[in-house]
C-alpha cells in the first residue's frame, strides 16, 4: 500500500518508488514531520523527535510548560504562537489578528487524485488529505500528499478554507512546509537571463533564509521555480539531493531556512510580496502543487525522478510521447521581412531533407513590420502575404510539409487596432503611464472579457486555416499588477489571478484545438516551468542558439526538465564562432529538434548534412522522448559536455560528447558510461567496440574527436540481442 496510517503511533507512511515520507500527529495534535528519504520499513519513528526546550522558547497558547511549536518539525508552519521560522500561511482574521493554530482534525486516503480547479497538477498516484483546523476561528488547511509507484516523487499542496462566518484575508498562502534534519546543506538553484537561461548556482546554506523567487508575473528567465538541498559532497552520481519544483507560472518564492536549532526548513509557493487574497465565509483557496524529488544517487537521480514524474503524470498527455515535428522556423532567417515568394523559396529549399514542418514566426499579422506595432491584431497582413495565409499553407502542404504559425496571445502594442478600440484591455493604472517592454503591453488576463476576446481571435485563425502547429510566445514581464475589473482592496490578488487567467486561456486554446501541436515560448525560455509543460509538451529553451552556449543552457535545464520538453534548433553561428554543422545538429538533437536559419543560403553539402541529421534523429527519437538521462560531463566546470540517454529497458542508448577546445597536449580522456545493464553485452558500431555494460561503465571508452575546437561525436550503444 502506498499510504498507510498506523493508529497506535498516529503515523502516516507514504511509500513511493524507492522513497518513503513519514509524519505523525503528536500529543499536541500537531502534524510533525518524521522522515523523507530512501524507502524504510514502518518502524515507530517518534524517537527522532528530540525536544530541546530552551528557556527562551514560547509555549503554545494557554499551555504553559508544554513544548514550543518551534520545537516540532512542521508539515505546515504557522505564525504568532511561538514559532518564528518561515510560516506557510498568514490568514488575517476579522479582528485583524493573523493567528491560527493548525492542528489535526481528520484525514482521508483517496485512490484517485482530485484534479485542481484552475491550475495544472500531476495526475495518478494515491493521495492523502490531512485536515488541519484552528479551533477558535475554524480556519482550515487541507494538506494533499500524492505518492507514486513509478517515480521517486511526492506531490504536495495546501488548500486553505475559511470556516468562520466573516471574511479572512490571506496575506501569505504557501503550498507546503518541509523540515529536513541537519543544516549542513548546499542550496542549488537555476538563475539566468534572456539568452542565458538556467545556469546552475550552488551555495552553502547559511543560518537564515535563502530565497529563490520571481516578482515578474511569470516564472522568469532570472530564477526558475526550483530549489534543491544537496549535501556538500553530492556529485552528479553520488549523495543526497532533495529537489523542489513548483508547478506554477507566475510570481513565486521558494525558501530554504537554516534554523538556529539545527534543522532546515523548505517552504514556498505563490510569491507573497504584493499578495493578498480575500476569502468569504466557506470559501477555499487552492495553492499550486509542488513536486518533491528525493535522490541518494546524486543530482542525476533527482533529475531522472523529475523527468519520469513529469513525463508520466504532468506533461500534455496527447503529445508527451508522440514523435515531434522537425521544424524549420522563419525567425532568425527573416525576422519581420518576408513575402510569399521568399517564404515559398524557403519551403522549397528544405523539401526532401526530412524537415517536415514549416513555422512562420512573428510578423504575419496586423501592421507588423517591426516590434513596435500590430500585436493584438490577429488578422493576416496581406501586404506581406498576398491572398492571406491560404496560398502559403497550400504551398507548404503541397510540398508534403505541415504548417505552423506564431502567436503572442497575451500581448498588445499601443499601435494596434485592439489597443485603439480597447485600451483598458492592457494592464495599467488610470492616471499613470504604462511601462513598455519590447514596445508592448500585457493584456489583463484576469478579466473574462479579455480572455474571451483572445480565445475568439486566436481560434478564428485556427478554425479557418489548416494549421498543424502553433508557437505561443510571451515577450515581456508583467508590471503595474492592477486590473480595472477588481475593487481596490483586492488588487494584490492580481499576480495569481493572472496565472489563473493564463491557465484558462491554455485550456481553451491548447486543449480546445487537439489537432494542433503547441510549443511554448517566452522570449526564449522565460516561462519554462512544469505548469506550462502541462499544456506545451515542448518549450523553446532559449533564444541563444549558439551550440556552445546551448550545452550549458540545456545542461542546466535538464536538472529538472526532460529532454523531450526542450525545443532545440540548429542555427547559424551567432557569435562568429566556427562550429561545424554536425556539432550544431548533435546538440540540437538533444531535444525536440529543428532548424532556425535561412535554408536558401545552405550549400548542397549542408543540405545533405541536414538530411543525414534528420535521418539520425528519427532513429533515436524514442530515446529523446522517453530515455533516462545520465549527464556524463559538465560544461560549466570542464572542457567537455556529455549527455547519455538510455532506453527504459536498457537495450539502446545514445551518447553525445562535445569537446569545447582542442587540448594541445593530446591527453586521452576516457568517459565512463552509466545506466546500462551490467550483464548485457553492447556494441558501439561507430567505435567497433563490443563490451558488457559493466565494462563500459567501469572502464569507459575514448571518444575520438576531429582535431578542431567545438566538435562533438555521437555514438549509438545497442544491446546485442536488440540488434537482431
Ligand atoms: C522571441 C522568441 O523567443 C523568438 O524565437 C521569436 O519567436 C521572437 N520572440 C519573435 O518575436
Query: What does the pLDDT read at residue 217?
Result: 98
Q: What is the pLDDT at residue 666?
A: 79
Q: Are 504 and 449 in contact (CB under 8 A)?
A: no
Handedness of CA 593, 217, 505, 141 (dihedral sign): positive
- 284 pLDDT more than 80: yes
At 303 the pLDDT is 98
DSSP 174: E
* pLDDT higher than 90, residue 721: no
38: helix, strand or coil: strand
Cα 404 to averaged position of ligand 1 atoms, centre (Å):
14
Measured by CA distance, the residue closest to atom 1 of ligand 1 is 523
Q: For residue 722, what pLDDT is reported? A: 64
Please state, in angstroms and rounded to a whole number, the distance separating the CA atoms of residues 507 and 499.
12
Q: Angle between the 448-464 and 494-506 helix axes, to the nearest 10 degrees?
A: 20
Cα-Cα-Cα-Cα torsion 58, 62, 65, 66, nearest 10 degrees, comes to -80
Could you tell me the three cell numbers for 358?
514549416
Q: How buried is 4 (Cβ within 10 angstroms: 0-12 exposed, 13-18 middle, 19+ buried)?
A: middle
C-alpha of 514 from chain center:
22
pLDDT at 116: 93
Taking a C-beta distance cutoff of 8 angstroms, is the pair 565, 539 a contact? yes
| 586 grid coordinates | 548533435
Task: Please state, as a whole number, how many other Cβ atoms lie within 10 Å of the Cβ of residue 39.
Answer: 12
Q: In testing the pocket of ligand 1, which one of 404, 475, 592 has its CB within 8 Å of the most ligand atoms?
A: 475
CA-to-CA distance for 138 and 156, rounded, in angstroms? 22
Choose which residue among 362, 411, 574 to substitute to test ligand 1 binding: the one with the highest number of ligand atoms within 8 A of its C-beta. Answer: 362
pLDDT digit string (tens) for 78-116?
Answer: 999 999 999 999 999 999 999 999 999 999 999 999 989
- Judged against a pLDDT cut of 60, whether residue 295 lies above it is answered with yes
What pLDDT does 379 receive? 98
Per-residue pLDDT averaged across 236-246, rounded?
Answer: 98
C-alpha cell at 347: 519551403
- What are the residue numbers of the active site? 473, 543
| Residues of the chain above pLDDT 90, percent | 96
Q: Over 90: is that where the pLDDT of 192 sits?
A: yes
Helix (H) or strand (E) holding 475: none
**Closest protein CA for atom 6 of ligand 1:** 331
**Residues contacting ligand 1 via CB (< 6 Å):** 331, 361-362, 406, 473, 475, 521, 523-524, 540, 543
Ramachandran sector of residue 621 (left: φ over 0; alpha: ψ -120 to 50; beta: rest): alpha
What is the spatial distance between Cα 17 and Cα 111, in angstroms, rounded to a whole number? 17
Kindly state the average pLDDT of the residues 135-142: 98
| Per-residue confidence band for 638, with pLDDT thresholds at 50, 70 and 90 | very high
Residue 177, SS3 per DSSP? strand
C-alpha distances in Å from residue 436, one per residue of 253, 420, 442, 478: 25, 16, 9, 10
* Residue located nearest, by CA, to atom 10 of ligand 1: 362
Q: Average pLDDT in the 424-437 region? A: 98
3-state secondary structure 112-158: CCCCCCCCCCCCCCEEEEEEEECCCCCCEEEEEEEECCCCCEEEEEE
Using pLDDT thresholds of 50, 70 and 90, give the confidence band for residue 117. confident
Instruction: For residue 244, report the distance from its CA to the centre of ligand 1, in Å.
Output: 29
Burial of 199 (0-12, 13-18, 19+ CB in 10 A): middle
Q: Is the pLDDT of residue 547 over 60?
A: yes
Give the distance from CA 118 to its chain's centroid.
18
| Residue with CA at minimum distance from ligand 1 atom 9 | 523
HSE-CB for 376 with a 13 A CA cutoff? 26
Which of 540, 553, 568 best tests ligand 1's pocket when mutated (most atoms within 8 Å of CB)?
540
Q: 301 falls in which pLDDT band (50, 70, 90)?
A: very high
pLDDT tens across 479-497, in order?
Answer: 999 999 999 999 999 999 9
Residue 724 above 60 pLDDT? no
Distance between Cα 524 and ligand 1 center (Å):
7
Mean pLDDT within 572-593: 96
Q: How far is the CA of 363 from the centre of ligand 1 (A)?
A: 10
How far apart are alpha carbons 313 and 127 in whole angstroms? Answer: 14
Can you give the pLDDT at residue 54?
73
Q: Residues 6 or more apart from 174 whose CB is under 8 A from it?
A: 87, 88, 89, 158, 267, 268, 269, 270, 272, 287
Q: Quote the CA–CA distance of 445 and 503 in Å, as a whole number.
A: 10
d(CA 411, CA 278): 28
Question: In what helix (H) or strand (E) does residue 342 lie, and over which residues does it extend?
Answer: helix 340-350
Q: Which secondary-structure segment (H or E) carries 290? A: strand 290-295
Examine the pLDDT at 431 and tell me if it is beyond 90: yes
Over residues 336-388, the pLDDT tens digits come to 999 999 999 999 999 999 999 999 999 999 999 999 999 999 999 999 999 99
Residue 671, SS3 per DSSP = strand
- How far apart are the C-alpha atoms of 36 and 30, rounded to whole Å? 18
Q: Which three cell numbers stand for residue 598?
A: 535561412
Planar angle of CA 608, 614, 617, nearest 5 degrees: 140
Q: Which residues contact 649 (CB under 8 A, 6 or more apart)?
A: none
In angstroms and rounded to an integer, the radius of gyration of the C-alpha atoms of the chain is 27
Cβ of 302: how many Cβ atoms within 10 Å?
Answer: 27
SS3 160: strand
Q: Which three cell numbers stand for residue 701?
A: 571508452
Please give the distance, rounded to the nearest whole angstrom, from the Cα atom of residue 411 to the centre of ligand 1.
Answer: 13
Q: Which residues, listed in sequence order, are joined to residue 241 by a DSSP beta bridge?
A: 230, 295
pLDDT digits (tens, 9 = 90+) for 47-74: 999 776 677 889 999 999 999 999 999 9
> What does DSSP assign to residue 508?
I
Q: What is the pairing mode between strands 711-719 and 681-684?
A: antiparallel
Q: Give the pLDDT band of residue 723 (cuts 50, 70, 90).
A: low
Match 476579522 to its residue by C-alpha cell: 94
Query: What pLDDT digit, counting tens, does each position of 467-482 carry?
Result: 999 999 999 999 999 9
- Measured by CA distance, the residue closest to atom 2 of ligand 1 is 523
CA distances from 130 to 39, 40, 105, 446, 703 (A): 22, 22, 8, 31, 53
Q: Which residues pair with 266 in a beta bridge?
A: 178, 256
Q: What is the pLDDT of residues 665-703, one digit of tens each?
A: 878 899 999 999 999 999 999 999 999 999 999 999 999
pLDDT of residue 665: 84
Whole-number Å distance, alpha carbon 518 to ligand 1 midpoint, is 15
Q: Report d(CA 491, CA 484) in Å as an integer.
A: 9
pLDDT at 696: 98
Q: Which atom of ligand 1 is nearest to the CA of 406?
A: 7
| Residue 17, CB-side half-sphere exposure with 13 Å CA sphere | 15
Amino acid at each position: 500500500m502506498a499510504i498507510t496510517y498506523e493508529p497506535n503511533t498516529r503515523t502516516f507512511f507514504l511509500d513511493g518508488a524507492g522513497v518513503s515520507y513519514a509524519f505523525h500527529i503528536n500529543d499536541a495534535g500537531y502534524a510533525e514531520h518524521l522522515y523523507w528519504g530512501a524507502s524504510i520499513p514502518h518502524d515507530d519513528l517518534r524517537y527522532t523527535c528530540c525536544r530541546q526546550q530552551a528557556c527562551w522558547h514560547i509555549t503554545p497558547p494557554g499551555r504553559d510548560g508544554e513544548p514550543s511549536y518551534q520545537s516540532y518539525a512542521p508539515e505546515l508552519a504557522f505564525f504568532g504562537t511561538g514559532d518564528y521560522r518561515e510560516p506557510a500561511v498568514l490568514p488575517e482574521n476579522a479582528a485583524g489578528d493573523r493567528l491560527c493554530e493548525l492542528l489535526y482534525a481528520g484525514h482521508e486516503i483517496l485512490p484517485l487524485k482530485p484534479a485542481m480547479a484552475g491550475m495544472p497538477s500531476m495526475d495518478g498516484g494515491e493521495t492523502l488529505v490531512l485536515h488541519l483546523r484552528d479551533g477558535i476561528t475554524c480556519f482550515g488547511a487541507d494538506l494533499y500528499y500524492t505518492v507514486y509507484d513509478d517515480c521517486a516523487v511526492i506531490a504536495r499542496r495546501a488548500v486553505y478554507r475559511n470556516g468562520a462566518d466573516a471574511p479572512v484575508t490571506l496575506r501569505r498562502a504557501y503550498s507546503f512546509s518541509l523540515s529536513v534534519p541537519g543544516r549542513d546543506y548546499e542550496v542549488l538553484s537555476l538563475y539566468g537571463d534572456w539568452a542565458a537561461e538556467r545556469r546552475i548556482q550552488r551555495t552553502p546554506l547559511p543560518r537564515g533564509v535563502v530565497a529563490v523567487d520571481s516578482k515578474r508575473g511569470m516564472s522568469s528567465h532570472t530564477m526558475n521555480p526550483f530549489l534543491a538541498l544537496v549535501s556538500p559532497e553530492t556529485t552528479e552520481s553520488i549523495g543526497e539531493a532533495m529537489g523542489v519544483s513548483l508547478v506554477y507560472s507566475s510570481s513565486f518564492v521558494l525558501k530554504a531556512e537554516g534554523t538556529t536549532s539545527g534543522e532546515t526548513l523548505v517552504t514556498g509557493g505563490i510569491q507573497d510580496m504584493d499578495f493578498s487574497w480575500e476569502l468569504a465565509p466557506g470559501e477555499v483557496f487552492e495553492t499550486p502543487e509542488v513536486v518533491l524529488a528525493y535522490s541518494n544517487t546524486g543530482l542525476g537521480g533527482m533529475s531522472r525522478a523529475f523527468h519520469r514524474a513529469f513525463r508520466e503524470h504532468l506533461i500534455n498527455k496527447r503529445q508527451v510521447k508522440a514523435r515531434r515535428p522537425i521544424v524549420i522556423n522563419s525567425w532568425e532567417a527573416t525576422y519581420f521581412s518576408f513575402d510569399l515568394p521568399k517564404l515559398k523559396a524557403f519551403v522549397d529549399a528544405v523539401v526532401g531533407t526530412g524537415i517536415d514542418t514549416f513555422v512562420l514566426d512573428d510578423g504575419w499579422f496586423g501592421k507588423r513590420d517591426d516590434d513596435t506595432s500590430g500585436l493584438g491584431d490577429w488578422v493576416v497582413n496581406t501586404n506581406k502575404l498576398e491572398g492571406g495565409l491560404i496560398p502559403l499553407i497550400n504551398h507548404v502542404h503541397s510540398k508534403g510539409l505541415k504548417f505552423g504559425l506564431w502567436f503572442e496571445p497575451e500581448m498588445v502594442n499601443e499601435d494596434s487596432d485592439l489597443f485603439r478600440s480597447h485600451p483598458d484591455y492592457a494592464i495599467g493604472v488610470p492616471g499613470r503611464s504604462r511601462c513598455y517592454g519590447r514596445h508592448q503591453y500585457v493584456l489583463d488576463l484576469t478579466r473574462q472579457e479579455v480572455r474571451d476576446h483572445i480565445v475568439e481571435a486566436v481560434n478564428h485563425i485556427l478554425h479557418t486555416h489548416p494549421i498543424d502547429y502553433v508557437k505561443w510566445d510571451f515577450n515581456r514581464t508583467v508590471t503595474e499588477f492592477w486590473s480595472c475589473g477588481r475593487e481596490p482592496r483586492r488588487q494584490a490578488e492580481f499576480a495569481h489571478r493572472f496565472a489563473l487567467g493564463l491557465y484558462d486561456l491554455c485550456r481553451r486554446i491548447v486543449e480546445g484545438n487537439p489537432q494542433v501541436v503547441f510549443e511554448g515560448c517566452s522570449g526564449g525560455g522565460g516561462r519554462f516551468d512544469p505548469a506550462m509543460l502541462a499544456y506545451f509538451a515542448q518549450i523553446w529553451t532559449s533564444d541563444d542558439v549558439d551550440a556552445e552556449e546551448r550545452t550549458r543552457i540545456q545542461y542546466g535545464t535538464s536538472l529538472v526538465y526532460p529532454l523531450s520538453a526542450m525545443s532545440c534548433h540548429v542555427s547559424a553561428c551567432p557569435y562568429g564562432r566556427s562550429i561545424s554543422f554536425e556539432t550544431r545538429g548533435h546538440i540540437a538533437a538533444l531535444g525536440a529538434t529543428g532548424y532556425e536559419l535561412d535554408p536558401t543560403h545552405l550549400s548542397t553539402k549542408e543540405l545533405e548534412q541536414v538530411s543525414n541529421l534528420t535521418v539520425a534523429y528519427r532513429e533515436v527519437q524514442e530515446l529523446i522522448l522517453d530515455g533516462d538521462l545520465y549527464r556524463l560531463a559538465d560544461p560549466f566546470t570542464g572542457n567537455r559536455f556529455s549527455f547519455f540517454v538510455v532506453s527504459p529497458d536498457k537495450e539502446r542508448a545514445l551518447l553525445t560528447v562535445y569537446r569545447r577546445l582542442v587540448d594541445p597536449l593530446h591527453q586521452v580522456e576516457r568517459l565512463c558510461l552509466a545506466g546500462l545493464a551490467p550483464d548485457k553485452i553492447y556494441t558501439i558500431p561507430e567505435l567497433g567496440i563490443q563490451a558488457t555494460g559493466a565494462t563500459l561503465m567501469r572502464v569507459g571508452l575514448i571518444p575520438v574527436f576531429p582535431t578542431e575546437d567545438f566538435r562533438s561525436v555521437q555514438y549509438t550503444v545497442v544491446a546485442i540481442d536488440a540488434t537482431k
